[in-house]
Structure 1
């Protein structure tokens, strides 16, 4: 299926029209989600044999980039579902079918969310503040607080992890709970500057139980080479980059259209598209974006093609994420500068993109962590 068939222009226009209202009302994108589910969008990573679209990471990233040109907050939240389905897909093509049920359930209409982030845990996947208690039957009880749980109003499956410290060596336990699982509370606390429609509320786990059949990994604390870690990072970072690439792309489109419409009294009524300084800024934004598109495509394609970058994989992934989020922020700023004071008014699309793009700096890996990862890859670790 071609992307314009999956996400036709008229569908994107509906999403773009609704995005303003979702943002103003601080409201979840229920209508967008219903249309995406109906189109099979949530089953992109599932094989055609399982009833999905059979996409790889490169094509899913391209779809997310396209979706983000219309509704960045919708795309960002859908990312979390696509991370889990992408992880299941990446593991499967590498010979591990332990999460195949994620793909079949996505085809059946289940919505997966990502409940891993914790306040104050800058170790991300390599440690956890959440307490995981073994129940004796292979299941685990989880108690802790998860932040930025996108898709809070709609998920039916939540991936969580916590630390089991009952043995001599603690382990990090990964599992899924369902919407019907007792022992969790979703706070109504998502009132943010941007990406408001994602409704990424805080989730408090208080003895929520993942049964044995949904506990899918136990890993040591600290960095490790388990394929699950690579799969999560590969999907998370690449799809984040895709969303912010689409956001920057849309800002550039708006800028080009705006400077053609704005006229200058100083220049005899000519459009600002004829002003050398304005042209410079538009060219700057276009050059920045043109460098980002091939990087996104190359990284996603290498994941699909099982390219072995060895110890350089994580630098490539975090480098892509930082470049995409920072480039998009730079581009939006450039376009704001050429678009006039109208962009400063509430309800203006460019003003919303200006707020939305700021969220990019908070997603893992953040700027500091990414630079540390890349420096270690090129220079070796800091000497004790």
Structure 2
């Protein structure tokens, strides 16, 4: 299926028309989600034999880039579902069926979300401040606080992890809980500068139990070569990059339209598209974006093709994320400079993109962690 069929212009137009209202009201994108479900968007990664679309990461990244040009917060939140289904797809393709049920349940209409982020945990997936308490039947109770839980109003399956310190060596336990499970609460604390429709509220786990059949990994604390970790990073970083690439793409479109629309009084009413300084800014934005599109596609294709990149895999993934988020921020800024003071008023699309794009710096891997990853790959670890 072509992207124009999956996400036709008229659908994107509806998403774009609703995005401003969601943002203004700090409201979840219920209507967008229903339309995406109806289009089969939540089952993109599932195989056609399972009732899905059979997309690989390259195709899903392209879809997310297109969706983000209309509704960045919608695309960012849907990313979390797509990351889990993407992880299940990558593991299945590599001979690990431990999360195949994620794909089957996505086809059946379940909505997956990420409950991994913790305040102050800069170890990300390599440690956890959440307590995972083992039970006799193989289930686990989880107690801790998770932040930035996108899709909070809509998820039916929440992926979480915590640390079990009861054994000889501590273990990081990964599992899913269901929405009807007792023992958790969702805060009403998402009142942010941007990406407001994502409704990424704080989730407090108070002994919520994941059944034994939903405990899918136990890993040692610290860096791990387990395929799960690679799959999460590959899908998370690539799909994040796709969303921010879409934001930059849309900002460039708006900047070009503004340059043609605005007139210069001092230059006899000529369009700003004829002004050399404006032309330079548009050109700079276009050059920046032209370097991002092929990097996004190549990285996603390498994941799909199971390329052998050795110790360069994680540098490539975090490098893509940083390049995408920083490039998008630069391009939005240039587009605003081209478009003038009208973008400073509430309700202006470029003004909203300016607020949305800032969220990119907070997603893992952050700038410091990414540079450390790349430096270690090229120079080796720090001594001593």
TM-score bracket relative to the smaller structure: over 0.9
- 2:22 matches 1:8: no
Corresponding residue number in structure 1 for 2:281: 281
CA-CA distance at 1:382 after TM superposition = 1.1
CA-CA distance at 1:308 after TM superposition = 1.0
- Partners of 1:139 and 1:312 in 2: how far apart? 37
- Partners of 1:266 and 1:294 in 2: how far apart? 40
Corresponding residue number in structure 2 for 1:184: 184
CA-CA distance at 1:55 after TM superposition = 0.1
- Could you list the runs of 5+ residues in structure 1 that have no partner in the other structure? none
CA-CA distance at 1:136 after TM superposition = 1.2
Corresponding residue number in structure 1 for 2:208: 208
CA-CA distance at 1:106 after TM superposition = 0.3
Corresponding residue number in structure 1 for 2:316: 316
SS at match of 2:364: coil
Aligned length: 384
SS at match of 2:224: coil
- Partners of 1:239 and 1:78 in 2: how far apart? 10
SS at match of 1:98: coil
- Structure 1 residues 4-153: aligned runs within 5 Å: 4-153=4-153
- Could you list the runs of 5+ residues in structure 2 that have no partner in the other structure? none
Corresponding residue number in structure 2 for 1:349: 349
SS at match of 2:173: strand
Corresponding residue number in structure 1 for 2:292: 292
CA-CA distance at 1:123 after TM superposition = 0.2
Question: 1:203-245: CA deviations, max 9, x gaps?
Answer: 0000000000000000000001000000000000000000000
- Partners of 2:67 and 2:195 in 1: how far apart? 14
- Partners of 2:279 and 2:214 in 1: how far apart? 55
CA-CA distance at 1:98 after TM superposition = 0.5
- Partners of 2:334 and 2:6 in 1: how far apart? 31
- Partners of 1:59 and 1:138 in 2: how far apart? 38
Measured on the aligned residues, the alpha-carbon RMSD in Å equals: 0.3
Question: 1:300-334: CA deviations, max 9, x gaps?
Answer: 00000010101110000000000000000000001
- Partners of 1:310 and 1:216 in 2: how far apart? 26
- Partners of 1:149 and 1:188 in 2: how far apart? 11
Corresponding residue number in structure 2 for 1:358: 358
- Partners of 1:380 and 1:219 in 2: how far apart? 24
Corresponding residue number in structure 2 for 1:303: 303
Corresponding residue number in structure 1 for 2:220: 220
SS at match of 2:76: helix
Corresponding residue number in structure 2 for 1:326: 326
SS at match of 1:168: coil
- Partners of 1:308 and 1:189 in 2: how far apart? 43
SS at match of 1:343: helix
SS at match of 1:173: strand
Kindly report structure 1 stretches of 4+ aligned residues shifted beyond 6 Å. none
CA-CA distance at 1:351 after TM superposition = 0.1
Corresponding residue number in structure 2 for 1:174: 174
SS at match of 1:35: helix
Corresponding residue number in structure 1 for 2:235: 235
- Partners of 2:174 and 2:381 in 1: how far apart? 29
Question: 1:120-157: CA deviations, max 9, x gaps?
Answer: 10000000000000001111000000000000000000
SS at match of 1:161: strand
CA-CA distance at 1:168 after TM superposition = 1.1
- Partners of 2:382 and 2:306 in 1: how far apart? 30
CA-CA distance at 1:272 after TM superposition = 0.1
SS at match of 2:177: strand
CA-CA distance at 1:383 after TM superposition = 1.0
SS at match of 2:132: strand
